[in-house]
């Protein structure tokens, strides 16, 4: 979706301004927002693409006006209700009114350590590729209203396949429970001039990871 999260190339946000001390968390509530998001995610009722989409769906004004962990909190609240782990009435009142759905139980620390250590690779068994390294491609000019990982600033632009990463889950379908649709994912090189015009430095480039379904041959 063309949401408030798709920021590449925007102007007006000002300097980057790194903090001097850079604490991992800036308040006690951030620790808890981080912890409950990971812990609820470990229940396996949604995938990483679903959770990204739940954050992207925020009204752009709200998205840009809130902090990172507020985006996480918004996404978590949305998914807990949408996936039936928490009732809409419970979320409204922030009060437990009934037990968890049958067969769903909190992940204890020993198992959580294993979940983190194992991770969840999105790489899948090899399959034929539509494109090969060095090939010229165009990023499709598409504007899906659902989740997509093709940023606005490359749509309709010509690039070159730089690396074939192999076969990966396709987030654009996986976010919406429409299957993993495994396909090749590539690092596609776009020249800075192709993306930003003649004032961009010659030779500089931006690499974007895109899938078969995002690309057409030139």
CB of 35 to other proteins, least distance (A): 4
Contact 141/148 with Cβ under 8 angstroms? no
CA distance 148 to 1: 6
Q: Is 125 in the site for other proteins (CB under 8 A)?
A: no
Between 140 and 159, how does the x/- string for binding to other proteins read (CB under 8 A)?
A: ---------xxx-x------
Among 127, 165, 179, 218, binds other proteins (CB under 8 A): 165
CB of 102 to other proteins, least distance (A): 11
User: Residue 183: beta bridge partners?
Assistant: 168
Among 128, 122, 141, 125, residue whose Cα is nearest residue 215: 141
Residue owning tokens 């979940």: 115
Query: Using alpha carbons only, what angle is made at residue 76 by residues 72 and 79, rounded to the nearest 5 degrees?
Result: 140
CA distance 49 to 161: 24
Among 103, 121, 125, 145, binds other proteins (CB under 8 A): 121
Q: Is 28 in the site for other proteins (CB under 8 A)?
A: yes
Q: Is 103 in the site for other proteins (CB under 8 A)?
A: no
Among 14, 128, 134, 198, binds other proteins (CB under 8 A): 14
Q: Which stretch binds other proteins (CB under 8 A): 127-135, 175-183, 209-217?
A: 209-217
């Amino acid at each position: 979706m063309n949401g408030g999260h798709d920021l590449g190339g925007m102007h007006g946000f000002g300097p980057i301004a790194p903090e001097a001390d850079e604490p991992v968390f800036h308040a006690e509530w951030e620790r808890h927002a981080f912890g409950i998001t990971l812990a609820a995610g470990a229940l396996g009722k949604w995938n990483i693409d679903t959770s990204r989409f739940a954050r992207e769906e925020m009204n752009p004004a709200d998205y840009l006006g809130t902090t990172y962990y507020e985006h996480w909190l918004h996404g978590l609240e949305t998914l807990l209700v949408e996936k039936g782990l928490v009732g809409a009435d419970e979320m409204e009142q922030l009060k437990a009114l009934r037990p968890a759905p049958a067969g769903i139980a909190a992940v204890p620390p020993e198992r959580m350590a294993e979940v983190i250590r194992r991770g969840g690779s999105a790489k899948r068994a090899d399959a034929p590729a539509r494109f090969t390294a060095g090939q010229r491609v165009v990023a499709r000019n598409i504007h899906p209203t659902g989740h997509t990982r093709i940023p606005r600033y490359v749509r309709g632009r010509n690039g070159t396949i730089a690396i074939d990463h192999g076969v990966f889950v396709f987030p654009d379908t996986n976010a919406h429970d429409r299957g993993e649709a495994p396909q090749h994912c590539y690092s596609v090189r776009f020249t800075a001039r192709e993306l930003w015009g003649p004032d961009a430095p010659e030779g500089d480039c931006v690499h974007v990871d895109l899938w078969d379904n995002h690309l057409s041959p030139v």
